[in-house]
Every structure is written in structure tokens, then in C-alpha cells.
Structure 1
Amino acid sequence: MPVPTTADTTPVLGLADHVARIGRSSRWELVGEVPLDFPTHHPQGMAFASGLIFLSSVQILDEPVPAADPALRTPGRGAGHVFVLDADGALMSDITVGEGAMYHPGGIDYDGENVWVSLAEYRASSRSIIYSIDPVKHTARERFRVDDHIGWILRDPGSDLLYGGNWGSRHLYTWDSDGRVLDRWENPDHYIDYQDAQIAAPGLLLCSGISLLPLPAGGTHELGGLALVDPLNRRISHNVPVSLFSDAGHVITRNPVTLTTDTKEILLHAAPDDGEDIRGTRILTYRMMPRA
């Protein structure tokens, strides 16, 4: 089943209302699966635009050396990609983005005109470049730079404001169209770290992500979730866990997530697995089932 890329306008009609009704008891049915038959590396964000799928991904060439303070990690070495796919998952274009140590793309979104993507150093409190990508020409344009690690970026076409989050989305940003910081506030939600985001309604963001919880016997459990974020009022208006896992054992909100709706039902599209995982990267589509 191809990914339904026709619903690629932002904001998606009725999306925020649908998301606000998702709860812990909501049931999801897998209705589509698109395998990606090329080296996908470590996908980060996903957006639908101009009938195509845009998938950001980081290719790690040298792993950063960890540190107790994530700002003191070594930068490592890698390459940033924004893959352009058709509805069946065939690779049409590979847009390389980034500069030097700024090679890690984050969550992306389509604003009706451009796809927006951030490229950051792979460590906290670092540097980022914000790009827009022409969805027809498949060309990237640098818009501005930020003295922080920006893990996802989007633009609200109604207000011409841009929103994003830093490492773990512990702080959330608002910029004007020239990249001037209008607001920076501490995220009160410690439930998950946001990894991808999209506009759910004018002035309202839909963020998805993951939290790694330690297990008593060692290892971690991937806790997934969704959140509706109201940046103008600095509040989280709704959040909910997502407990769906891929064949590789990853929670589906681990990285790329996009939700669409036709006003009657809501679809969740996710690509939680890396190219090296079992069965590789697949775009999974789930339908929220009606309440019994």
C-alpha cells in the first residue's frame, strides 16, 4: 500500500481535534507498509509535499564519543540527507545538507511552500543551520543559523513564525522569518523528548518522540508518545503515550512521524527503524480504530 501523500497541506484539516481525542485506550491497526530499498541510515523526520515523501536522515561516519554532559561529546563525523521518495518508497533524489560538524538533520515539516529542516552538531548546546527545501526543484536554501542544537524545525504559514526544539526539546524556540529569536521557554513536559513535529492547527504544534526508561535488569524501554504544544501560551495542551512497536523492537514514534486525516479518520505514518535494523527502514501506516 503506497503512502497517501495527497494530504500534504499544512495545517491538516481537523488534525488537532483528532489528536486531542487520542487516549491510552485508543487502538491502532496497521494498514500499510512501504519498504525502502536503499541505504536509509538513521532516519529523523518525515513530511509529505507535492505528492512526494521527504525523509531526513543522518549517516554516521565516526560516532561521537559520549560524555556525562552531552554538550561535551566529541562532534563525530557524518553526512546529512533529505531523501525524496515517491508514494511507493522509490528514491527519486538525495539532497545533501549541512556543513562540517553540523551534519545531523532533525524533524522536518512542510508549510505548503517549503520543507524545513535543521542541521546541527551531534551534541547539546552546539550550533545549527536552518534550511528550506523547494519540494519541486529539490534544492536547499540556508535561511539562518542558531547557537544551539536544534532537533526539529517547522514554520506556521498563518503567522510566518518558525518553531523548534533543542537537544531533547528541553527548550522550545520561536523565531521570526529572519531567524530572530522571539521566545525561548523551558519545556514543562518531561514525559518524552520530541523528535519530529508538524503544524496541527494555526499556532498549535503536534510533536512526537521517545523517552528511554531504564529497566531493573539493565537495558532500556522505549516509551513513545504524542503531544499538542501551544507555544504562544507556553503550555502542553494534550499528551498521550503510544505503545506500538516495529519488528526491530522500536517504538513507532522513535523518529520520523507524520499524521494525516481525511476528517473521518486519522492515519499515523512512521519510520522507526534504521537501515541496519531487521527488515531495514519501512514506512508504517496505522489507522486509529473507532472506539468499541
Structure 2
Amino acid sequence: MRLPSRLILAATSTIVYLSSTAALNITIKQDVPLAPAKLPAPYAAAQCDEIVEHFGRLGRTTVWNLVEKVHMEGDTFEPEGIVRIGDDRYFLSAGEYTSPTVKYGNGIIINGTDRTAGSGFAHMIVFDGKGKRIADATLTERDAIEYHNGGIDYDGEFIWATIAQYRPNATATLMRIDPRTLEPTVILHVADHKGGVVHDTRTDKFVMLNWGSRNATTWDSRRKPAPYPAFTTFPNNVRNPSYYVDYQDCKFLGHPKQFDHRSTMICSGVASLSPTVAIGGVALVDMETMIPVAEVPITMTSDLGAPVTQNPMEVAIVGGRLRFYFMPDQHNSTLYVYEAEPNSPFEYGA
């Protein structure tokens, strides 16, 4: 099945925009709708104040109960972000690498970066609630240099993604994806790696995080972007003051009462302290300042030994309990669904 697209990414240092001849390739595995006929609200934003209230009870002694493990069918490549649309659809962003990046070595920096571009495909894969593969869309052409489809956000109408070169200080493209068809629309081009994006639906601003989430760039959609493939410039670039973990996947949470109605996102991530030591965590983050207003360590690992916060994360309140969805492993992926135990000692001061 092929649907019209507006994007082609060439396997050179120049990214070429074509208006009519590019194609989105979709492999259909099940003859079922890709998304619900009536798109539901995103779980995080719809349950904002309740999530913040539950998050405030978390701590180091919180007991996390594994309530479900869902094996995802087929090769998931390197999963980067996940959104749950309704109770029976998972949309997974992933990067398939056809040639690896190679570090220049000896501290050499060329055009602001320390390694070659590599090449690959950017994927958006759809699964049902049991992990059965419904569809796999490749959003870029073979051997594109922008192929890292990072952390994603869903705003009730579109999935938002940044497809970037897999190296720091490079380039990325912000795009929106229709979950009903998986058709991508290019929005703007950025002269930096962007590994994730969050859409504040109240202000219609987009926060994009760079390599390691060290900087946040905000685009106000009232400002017209530069014509693709020219780079859009931004009036502000906010430094992330927290080095606890590097955020991998974030969701727009809303404007919670507890934080004076400030724009807030929920993020998960990891930090590698050494070749053998990595820590995981989840944080509520002020989208204007990048200051974490609450954060908690997450120590669980997958069956293959990866921190569960390694890459994709989704969140919801289910049955009155705070639930996280994690998918840390590459290629052979399992979705780990955890709930915070309400009787954990820290939560109730025992």
C-alpha cells in the first residue's frame, strides 16, 4: 500500500524536498483500521492533574508492580518513542540503520559534529494491544541521512516527530503524522539534532530536545517556518539544568494546578555513568525553563538487562493507579507495563 507523501531525504549532506514524486511506503499486516475512527484525547493531557497528584507520592521506596508484558511482533529496529491511541493501538517510532555512524576519533570535529552521518530508514510501526503488528510505515527513502525517528507526542489529532541525523549538532525535520493514514507532513527543518518533540496544545508551541536533551528549542506555530529545506531559526534556546538523566521520550502533560498552570511535560530517560552502570528516571519538567519540578528514579530492567526507561515511554491512570508503559529493547522488543503500588511506604509516610 502506498500513500502520497511530501518528503524525500537524500543520502548525502544535502536534504532535498520534493513536492510530488516522493512516496510513503506502508506494509499492511492486518486489514483493520490503523487508529480508532474517532481519535481519542491523549491519556497524559486528559489526566493531567491526576497524574501530577499520583506522581507526587512517588519516591525511592515506591514498589512497582509489573502488570503486563506484551511482546511486539517482528523487528522493532531501535525503538525511540511510543504513543497509545485508545486502548488497542500502540504507535512506535523507530530507526533502522543501514550503515552505522563512525566517530572521527582523536577529538576531530567536522561541521560541528564528531562522527559520520550513517544512513537508514525512519519507521512508524502500529501494533494492537496484544503486540500484533498492524502496519509498518517507512517515512524516509533508503539510505537517508535523517533517519533517527525520536521521541514522539500525540495531541488528539496528529503524532508529532523529529526525524534527525543520528549524531549531535546535525540536522532534523519536524513533521506531523496522521495516525489514520500514517501520512507525514513536513513542518520545518532544524540545524541541530532533535531527539524528541512535545506539543503544548493550549499555546500551540512545540518544544524540541536536542542530543542528550541538553538544550530545548521552542517553536511558536504562529511564526511561519522557513521554506523547506531552509533552516528555521528560533528566538530562544533553553539549557537543561538537570543532569540526572537524558530524556528519551516525553509527553505533553498540560498546565497542572499544582504547578501554577505552567506548561509541563512528563519525560523518561537514562544516563550512562560508565560502560557498565546506567540509571533511569522519570520527571515532570517545566517546558519553558526545562527545570524538573518533580523526578523519581526508576530501577527496573528488562529481561535483556536494559533500564526500562531506555527509550519509549507512555503514561496513564488506569483503575485509579499510575501506570507507565516502557519498551527498552532493540529489535526484539517487549512492552513492560508497570503500576505504582499505592501502599508503598514513602507514599503514605509509613
| TM-score scaled by length of structure 2 | 0.76
The letter of the residue matching 1:88 is K
Maintained 8 Å contact 1:196/1:209: yes
Matches within 5 A, 1:27-106: 27-50=63-86, 51-66=88-103, 67=105, 68=107, 71-98=113-140, 100-106=144-150
Residue aligning to 1:194: 247
SS state at 2:113 partner: helix
Q: Give how far 1:189 is off.
A: 0.3
Q: Give how far 1:243 is off.
A: 0.2
Task: Identify the range of structure 1 (120-129 vs 84-93) with the bigger mean alpha-carbon deviation.
Answer: 84-93
Maintained 8 Å contact 2:44/2:315: no
Residues 1:233 and 1:39: Cα distance change in structure 2 (over 3 Å): closer
Residue aligning to 1:12: 46
Maintained 8 Å contact 2:267/2:284: yes
> Is 1:206 aligned to residue 266 of structure 2?
yes
Matches within 5 A, 1:1-292: 8-13=42-47, 14-50=50-86, 51-66=88-103, 67=105, 68=107, 71-98=113-140, 100-177=144-221, 178-179=224-225, 181-202=234-255, 203-214=263-274, 219-262=275-318, 264-275=320-331, 280-290=332-342, 291-292=344-345
The letter of the residue matching 1:285 is V
TM-superposition CA deviations, 1:42-74 (whole Å, max 9, x none): 111001125421101111111101245692210
Maintained 8 Å contact 2:42/2:155: no
Q: Give how far 1:175 is off.
A: 0.8
Maintained 8 Å contact 1:98/1:119: no
Quote the Cα distance in structure 1 between the aligned partners of 2:140 and 2:188: 12
Q: Give how far 1:7 is off.
A: 7.4
Quote the Cα distance in structure 2 between the aligned partners of 1:266 and 1:195: 20
Quote the Cα distance in structure 1 between the aligned partners of 2:115 and 2:265: 30
From the CA coordinates, give the structure whose radius of gyration is larger.
Answer: 2
Residue aligning to 2:14: none
SS state at 1:80 partner: strand
Residues 1:173 and 1:16: Cα distance change in structure 2 (over 3 Å): farther
Q: Give how far 1:238 is off.
A: 1.3
TM-superposition CA deviations, 1:221-266 (whole Å, max 9, x none): 1210111110224422112211000111000000001111147211
TM-superposition CA deviations, 1:154-187 (whole Å, max 9, x none): 2111111111210001101111124563431110
Residues 1:174 and 1:263: Cα distance change in structure 2 (over 3 Å): farther
Quote the Cα distance in structure 2 between the aligned partners of 1:223 and 1:21: 20
SS state at 1:136 partner: coil
Quote the Cα distance in structure 2 between the aligned partners of 1:8 and 1:33: 22
Q: Give how far 1:284 is off.
A: 0.9
SS state at 1:11 partner: helix
Q: Give how far 1:10 is off.
A: 4.7
Maintained 8 Å contact 2:269/2:282: yes
Quote the Cα distance in structure 2 between the aligned partners of 1:210 and 1:150: 17
- Count residues with an aligned counterpart: 280
Maintained 8 Å contact 1:269/1:283: yes
Quote the Cα distance in structure 1 between the aligned partners of 2:140 and 2:269: 23
SS state at 1:46 partner: strand
Unaligned 5+ residue runs, structure 2? Answer: 1-35, 226-232, 256-262, 346-350
Q: Give how far 1:9 is off.
A: 3.9
SS state at 2:147 partner: strand
Unaligned 5+ residue runs, structure 1? Answer: none
Maintained 8 Å contact 2:148/2:166: yes
More strand by share: 1
